[in-house]
Amino acid sequence: MLIKTYKNISCSNCQSKSHSLIENLNSEELNNLEQNRGCSFYKKSDYLFLEGSYPRGVYCLNHGKVKVFTRGNEGKEQIIHIAKPGEIIGFRAMLSGDPYLVSAETIEECAVCFISKDEFFKMMDSNSEFRNDIIKGLSKELGERAVSITDMAQKSVRERLAVGLLQLKEIYGTEPINLSREDLANFVGTATETLIRLLKEFKNEGIIETQTRKVIILKSDKLHQLAGK
Amino acid sequence: MLIKTYKNISCSNCQSKSHSLIENLNSEELNNLEQNRGCSFYKKSDYLFLEGSYPRGVYCLNHGKVKVFTRGNEGKEQIIHIAKPGEIIGFRAMLSGDPYLVSAETIEECAVCFISKDEFFKMMDSNSEFRNDIIKGLSKELGERAVSITDMAQKSVRERLAVGLLQLKEIYGTEPINLSREDLANFVGTATETLIRLLKEFKNEGIIETQTRKVIILKSDKLHQLAGK
DNA sequence: AAGTTAACATGATTTTAATCACTTTTCTTA
DNA sequence: TAAGAAAAGTGATTAAAATCATGTTAACTT
């Protein structure tokens, strides 16, 4: 699946470092990391890891987007998170010691660095700032997921789409949101047909614009309103 | 709200210690903890803390049950977790540095010890085993919540009730499940009326038995089946 | 123990969103 | 660049669960 292995991305100069947990490593640690990690290109729809398998390390996303999802009853995906450059993916399972509960798959071409379990734990042990960032990250995400559970249980699909689009705006920044309708539906937690119909409504209401599959948000304020609080 | 302050529960001899994160503290640390924590009785429906406020420490549950919940759109509660003796409540917000995203309220008479922020962080810093347990706990919970999100998004209310009852069985052990219909509905994520109707169905199918508000599970295997996987 | 309140329960109705069946558009790649 | 495949979109129908209205039982309170 993997196109090419390369060693030419430097951690010290990684353009995603500043929004990454590795930003608090000192230059010695960064150099060491650079020696001990492997980097790979992945094309679209490649897996980083699969639900049920055991983690052997973590993945640091340099370029591209990765969807993290579980599979429910009839194999339907529920997208839990969409990772953007700088993010470390898959450390949860490694820290808990369990097999992955989620799968990770690229949704565009990606450059990803692999940091082995040993290396990762070494960094956790030796650098308390890094460790605290990991702990903070876990805690923050845990809080966010409590909100997601509530949203899933209580909000209508329309409200959830508004919430979801706002989250995706944070992830995609100024670029248009570039997800398949099916992925978008699996992120919002609805049927693809329902999602398409709602997108059309939002479009008619002037809230969004679509360029074939791409979605551009025109009125964030309106989405906030629709999202309810 | 608090009936009585007491100092007579010893951490070293706490009957809930063995299923608690404090079990890996050494005797010196336990003695120190004992000097620096305050214990209180709470009656039913008392708050430990409220969504939006800032954490000043964590709560260690010695006796009783506590519901942890968020409030959705129209103030409807979504119960995220029901804590049982031994559990430390409210450390997530303390670790992330944010205000509480959830509220915690007793659902029966409780004995609760309070450990200050300073004290808690001191233990985290000095005892790596304790710290690792905290990290593992956070990670495990994070995984569980990914599953909850998927369940909320994809399972029917009937399936979710089956899942919920099985979870409650783990929490209540051999005792009957003792929750109001409303709390049970807010745990499963449905309307109270719907919950009541489904409980009746389960009762007619011989899966559960009810004693006024209490629920006794008769056929766990059947619930596993209904829960879907 | 009687009265009051809150929790539990049921029936009828409406709403939301899933499902099924099918068409059209867009992307791939031979 | 034409053919095939995959993704996007539409319409009709069904199913699930929320909501509204109201009745009943249980549990406090004085």
Per-residue pLDDT tens for A211-229?
999 999 999 999 999 998 4
Q: Is the pLDDT of residue B156 over 70?
A: yes
What's residue B1's pLDDT? Answer: 36
| pLDDT range class, residue B17, cuts 50, 70, 90 | confident
Amino acid letter, residue B8: N
Residues A187-212 have pLDDT tens digits of 999 999 999 999 999 999 999 999 99
- Which residues are within 8 A (CB) of A144 and not within 5 positions of it... i.e. 6 or more apart? none
Interchain pair B135, A134: CB under 8 A: yes
Decide if B214 touches A, using CB distance below 8 A.
no
Q: Is the pLDDT of residue A148 over 80?
A: yes
What's residue B2's pLDDT? Answer: 38
CA-CA distance, A30 to A134, in Å (whole number)?
17
User: Which tokens go with B177?
Assistant: 């499940």
Using DSSP bridges, classify how beta strands B77-83 and B66-71 pair: parallel, antiparallel or unpaired.
antiparallel
Of A72, A136, A154, the CB nearest to B73: A154
Amino acid letter, residue A44: K
- Which residues are within 8 A (CB) of B182 and not within 5 positions of it... i.e. 6 or more apart? B192
Residues A48-89 have pLDDT tens digits of 999 999 999 999 999 999 999 999 878 899 999 999 999 999
Radius of gyration of chain B (CA): 18
What's residue A18's pLDDT? Answer: 82
Decide if A51 touches B, using CB distance below 8 A.
no
Domain range A155-227, CATH class: mainly alpha
Question: Please, which residues 4-43 of chain A have a Cβ atom closer than 8 Å to chain B?
Answer: none
Q: What is the mean pLDDT of chain A?
A: 93
Alpha-carbon separation of residue B202 from A177, B185, B188 (angstroms): 44, 15, 15
Q: Is the pLDDT of residue A3 over 60?
A: no
CA-closest candidate to residue B223, choices B181, B179, B163, B175: B163
Q: Which residue is nearest to nucleotide D25 (CA to C1')?
A: B212
DSSP A19: G
CATH 2.60.120.10, applies to B2-150: yes
Q: Is the pLDDT of residue A8 over 90?
A: no
Between B146 and A28, where is the model more confident?
Answer: B146
The alpha carbon of A157 is separated from its chain's Cα centroid by a whole number of angstroms, namely 21
Alpha-carbon separation of residue B159 from B11, B15, B152, B179, B191 (angstroms): 40, 35, 10, 19, 15
- When the candidates are 3.40.50.300, 2.60.120.10, 2.40.170.20, 3.30.450.40, the CATH number that belongs to A2-141 is 2.60.120.10
CB of A43 under 7 A from strand C? Answer: no
Q: Is the pLDDT of residue A164 over 60?
A: yes
| pLDDT range class, residue B16, cuts 50, 70, 90 | confident
What's residue B8's pLDDT? Answer: 63
Could you tell me the pTM of the whole model? 0.94
Interchain pair B143, A98: CB under 8 A: yes
DSSP-assigned beta bridge partners for residue A67 = A82, A105
| pLDDT range class, residue B29, cuts 50, 70, 90 | confident
| pLDDT range class, residue A17, cuts 50, 70, 90 | confident
User: Which tokens go with A198?
Assistant: 């709602």
What's residue A4's pLDDT? Answer: 47
Residues composing chain A: 229
Residues B53-81 have pLDDT tens digits of 999 999 999 999 999 999 987 889 999 99
Q: Is the pLDDT of residue A96 over 50?
A: yes
Residues around strand D, C-beta < 7 Å:
A 180-182, 192-193, 196-197, 199-200, 210, 212-213; B 156-158, 189-191, 193-194, 212-213
On whether the CB atoms of residues B153 and A155 are closer than 8 A, the answer is no
The alpha carbon of B19 is separated from its chain's Cα centroid by a whole number of angstroms, namely 13
Q: What is the mean pLDDT of chain B?
A: 92
Q: Is the pLDDT of residue B220 over 90?
A: yes
Smallest CA–C1' separation from A159: which nucleotide? Answer: C16
CA-CA distance, A88 to B24, in Å (whole number)?
29
CA-CA distance, A133 to A136, in Å (whole number)?
5
Sequence spans of domains, chain A: 2-141, 155-227
| pLDDT range class, residue B128, cuts 50, 70, 90 | very high
